[in-house]
Amino acid sequence: MVSPYLNKKKEGQLSLNIGAKKLFQLIYIKKNNLKKTEEGTSKIAVSAMVSKLAFVYEKIRNAVDYEDDHLLRKNAIKRIFKRQILIEGIIKDVKSQELSIHLLTELIQAGYINANSVSDKKIIEIGDILEKYIKLKDFCFKKENLLFNFSRKTKGNKKRSKKDQKNLSNWIISLAASEVEDSLTKDKVKQEIIIDMFDVLKDNIKLPKDLPHEKDLDIQIYLGIARNYLNFDTDLLSFILFKYYNKDWAKIDDRGIAVLAEKIDVLRLVVSQQLDHPLGKQLDKIIKSYSLYFSILQEVIEENPIKIYDQALNNYKAFINLIKETCERRYKKIKNKLWSSGVRSIIYIFLTKSIFVFLLEIPAIKWFGEEINIFTLAINVSFPAFLLFVMILFTWAPAQENTKKIISGVEEIVYDEKRRKNAIILRKPPKRSFFIDAIFNILYLAGFSVTIYFVIKFLNFVGFNWVNITIFLFFLMFVSFFSFRIKRDIKKFIIVESKDNLFNFLFDFFYTPIIAVGKFLSNSASRVNIFVFILDFIIEAPFKVFVEVFDDWMKYIRERKEDLVN
């Protein structure tokens, strides 16, 4: 079997562009494991029993802190760093190579990486990454440092507050976690897709002459690709910008780190401005579609690179049928994933709400002299989970028109002859007068008020007291946003916007404000998640110490057993 190469073009035959050809070859190499793997390297050994304990703990930890699956490992790395650097680092020196071994051991135990994939070279690589961030943190915070005195006033003659100190420390740890995650997920196929997508979008997207953001367009396109194709969160996007503004970071020396520490506050401000750039939302709408086109193309090729390459060149209809089949298969897969995430969320909400009732709702009812009604309590416990179930149940798969749009998009990125001829011109963000904006805000508030009024009237009718109603409304808003959030994956596949009608207008008018308030409550609740606090600061540290000691004990027992044999 040979890898796909160019065949002689037949008359009337479509031509594959260079990016598509390279993508076929890289997927072929990856699928057939043609790249040689490292041999003769030492691996980190962990006990199977200890790994089971750590794996179960991670499952429990992730259940009470809902995050997308692809972010779980990065967040676990971040937690480990916080524990090792911020908590345990207070009482002991943190050494980068030791932290690297400890980190990789914990990730193996928790099932985030395979033990066989960790070589001595990878341990050293991770250690070198951590060394830079430990030095950056030290330069930023050590008062005795000659180049950066923490007691000195920052720009604007203001000392950094305690809150700013904490935020800066967390930001540095987030960057470190993101770079380690990046080093563990090297994927040449995805890297090639990012390059191809960037080239396509850079050629297709243009700014009007009166929009002054030309210097930011390239990095905003790249961030849009990371946000929509790779599904990066704020931590990982910040790391992209951190590297963008510090191009010598990979080979930086101590002097360079010290200089970087001097301008760290300005750098954080610039990163924040880029993350909240005026072009971001417009670009996301465009890049969302192209991310889907490349994702579908990748899945089509992975089925059989040689066969699909031949069909793409010589059997256009068969290639298009494969795209259709892949779309239908992906719709079903994403619907199953939606249910999987939904079940997790339903369990999380049900448990949270049940505990909430006993810890707050019942004591509050008694405190204010209201009567406890088992019926209303049962509704308050079950309704949030039931609402989420209904929201998922009535989430429909994309229509045929959506599939046609995807086929057209895949053709555009594969064939030279199908390339877009006209550029996409971005528009200026709309500017409304203060008066019009005030009227819209009043109407938005009116929609929210009317919805809440009728919900309260109904709850009063079925016997809810004011305490029950308050808690019911809180969870109604919270779960409304929760359901909106977990349906994001299927919405990424819908690139044909639904047609406006009276029902959609009324639903958006009255229900969107509920979701918006739910987002605010969710963001606020995530900062004071008592379950996360208990697990991270009360249970995790002693649990990890126990796991480490238990692992050493298991190794000791094995050594004694081997001594008896010899």
> Could you read off the pLDDT of 339-367 as tens digits, one per residue?
877 777 777 777 776 777 777 777 777 78
Read off the tokens for 444. 């938005």
- Yes or no: say if 392 and 486 are a contact pair by the CB < 8 Å rule: yes
Phi-psi region of 37 (alpha: psi -120 to 50; beta: other; left: phi over 0): beta
- Measured between alpha carbons, how far is 34 from 28 in angstroms, rounded to an integer? 9
Model pLDDT, residue 145: 43
Model pLDDT, residue 32: 78
Whole-model pTM: value is 0.76
Please provide the distance, in angstroms rounded to a whole number, between the alpha carbons at the two ends of the chain.
Answer: 50
Regions in the chain scoring below 50 on pLDDT: 1-8, 11, 36-40, 90-91, 143-157, 528
- Measured between alpha carbons, how far is 472 from 280 in angstroms, rounded to an integer? 35
**What single-letter amino acid sits at 159?**
K
Read off the tokens for 430. 């709309």
Phi-psi region of 397 (alpha: psi -120 to 50; beta: other; left: phi over 0): beta
Beta-bridged to residue 206, according to DSSP, are 425
Least Cα distance to 238 among 291, 165, 187, 172 occurs for 172
Model pLDDT, residue 547: 60
Three state DSSP letters for 264-292: HHHHHHHHHHHHCCCCHHHHHHHHHHHHH
- Measured between alpha carbons, how far is 172 from 161 in angstroms, rounded to an integer? 17
CA atoms within 13 A on the CB side of 47: 16
- Yes or no: say if 64 and 535 are a contact pair by the CB < 8 Å rule: yes
Least Cα distance to 472 among 407, 565, 408, 377 occurs for 377
Collapse the DSSP code of 335 into the 3-class scheme (helix H, G, I; strand E, B; otherwise coil) and give the result.
helix
Phi-psi region of 253 (alpha: psi -120 to 50; beta: other; left: phi over 0): beta
Q: What is the DSSP letter of 117?
A: G
Q: Please report which residue ranges of 65-95 form alpha helices under DSSP H.
A: 72-81
Model confidence pLDDT, tens digit, residues 271-326 = 999 999 999 999 999 999 999 999 999 999 998 899 999 999 889 999 999 999 99
